[in-house]
Structure 1
């Protein structure tokens, strides 16, 4: 996976960091797995220096733990951690949506609706988490707050590592989809207060599902 010409705008550490982050969040690297610098350097087509810098950045994001004798390992996330991150989701995403609704255009609504159509046709629970994220992201992007969006993306990534399959299978997609279509309707109507309240309840339902899963375990 040597760096290609289209990626020269990013520094080598940033490219390695982004690639590793995606691999960790998507489950390519599992909790507790060791990340060997020489193997990563070969995989990304770089020296070990960008890899070391990328691992330090991922440690600050809470995805990697640097240990004295083992080197870097993929850090685990507990159920309690995720429940708190869902509280953070509510705070960040409700703020983003409140700022986004006044800026939404016809094209934003069309993109969000198309994602919901794809979601409706997806039969595999593993794909529902991705569709869910794409829909929410489409609603938040018009807020035009890059730092806020970056915080939302990082926090959601941590939550998604833990919940993407368990919660999807527990809740199914019928109820979440009903809530998604209702939120999109409220966005079209410009009803900021109502759609922010709906979003908060929507995320709280994920918390309830996670608690139920944890109790069963």
Structure 2
């Protein structure tokens, strides 16, 4: 994340077309929230970076109202943090939050996959298999996050539990920037792909206990890995910050000739 900025990149060219001129306010705020979320995930906006309403409004050529709504949405999802008289900033990465997100996901997704398996059809299984292969081939971290979500959600969709699916989707969004961190860890991609294939195989064989066991192990393992990584990184950063700064040499006194 070396290219991360300290604020919203006003001078950076837009990655997507400008917002529709006649977009309803709700649609506009949603699109702004998605753009900010993407910038946080890909590291353009670093943890602690200010999210200034006026700067964001100028960037998207909109009024302050949809920006405020977008920031409230991001705050409710855990992406932004608001402080009185200081405005909103990108929420810091938290080892505890990362682990907890995956603990909750393991419980909800175990339930969802158990409910979904009896309702899977040949068509839904083909879709899940195609999404699994797409995630396996993907090398771009940002694109992989989207393909990973699509694969997981395809396994649960046949459950027909709209509220459960919505809760899982929210947790996926909150965990996106943590998932991206795993790309920097050795052997993660291959291990994740292997776990996805094993999970898909259990679903295809309609083995509910095996599928539930695999999805729980997959998610708890991810949460533990991220917790250790972020904890160790925080310790290293704290140790570096506490190191005494080297003192410069004191200038020699001038001597007469």
Q: TM-score range by the shorter chain?
A: 0.7 to 0.9
**Aligned partner (choices 54, 58, 64) of residue 48 of structure 1:** 64
Aligned residues: 217
Give the greater-gyration-radius structure (CA): 2
The answer to whether the 8 A contact 2:100-2:223 is kept is: no
C-alpha RMSD of the superposition? 2.7
Provide closer, same or farther for how the CA distance between residues 10 and 46 of structure 1 changes in structure 2, counting only shifts above 3 A. Answer: same
How many angstroms apart in 2 are the aligned matches of 1:6 and 1:147?
31
Residue 161 of structure 1: how far off its partner (Å): 1.0
User: Residue 35 of structure 1 contacts residue 73 of structure 1 at CA under 8 Å; is this kept in 2?
Assistant: yes
- Map 1:120-199 onto structure 2 (within 5 A): 120-124=136-140, 127-166=143-182, 169-199=185-215
Structure 1 range deviating more: 165-174 or 152-161:
165-174
How does the TM-score come out when normalised to structure 1?
Answer: 0.84
SS for the counterpart of 2:185 is helix
Q: 1:31 corresponds to which residue? A: 47
**Structure 2 residue aligned with 1:118:** 134
In the superposition, the TM-score normalised over structure 2's length comes to 0.72
Q: By percentage of residues, which structure has more helix?
A: 1
- Report how far residue 54 of structure 1 moved: 2.0
Look up the match of 2:13. none
**Aligned equivalent of 2:75, options 59, 62, 65:** 59
In 2: Cα distance, 1:13 partner to 1:113 partner: 34
State the Cα deviation string for residues 134-191 of structure 1 (Å, max 9, x = none): 3212212222223222221221222231232336633433332222112112212222
Deviation at residue 128 of structure 1 after TM alignment: 4.1
Do the aligned residues in 2 keep the contact of 1:2 with 1:43 (CA within 8 Å)? no
**Alignment partner of 1:203 out of 219, 222, 230:** 219
Indicate the residue corresponding to 1:89 in structure 2: 105
| Counterpart Cα distance in 2 of 1:53 and 1:125 | 28
Q: CA deviation at 1:10?
A: 4.6
| Structure 2 Cα separation of the partners of residues 6 and 104 of structure 1 | 40
CA distance in 2, matches of 1:24, 1:116: 25
Q: Could you tell me which of 66, 74, 84 is aligned with 1:68? A: 84
How far apart are the structure 1 equivalents of 2:231 and 2:94?
14
Where 1:91 maps in the other structure, the secondary structure is helix
Secondary structure of the 1:170 match is coil
Q: Which runs of 5+ in 1 are unaligned?
A: none
Change (3 A) 1:51 1:115: same
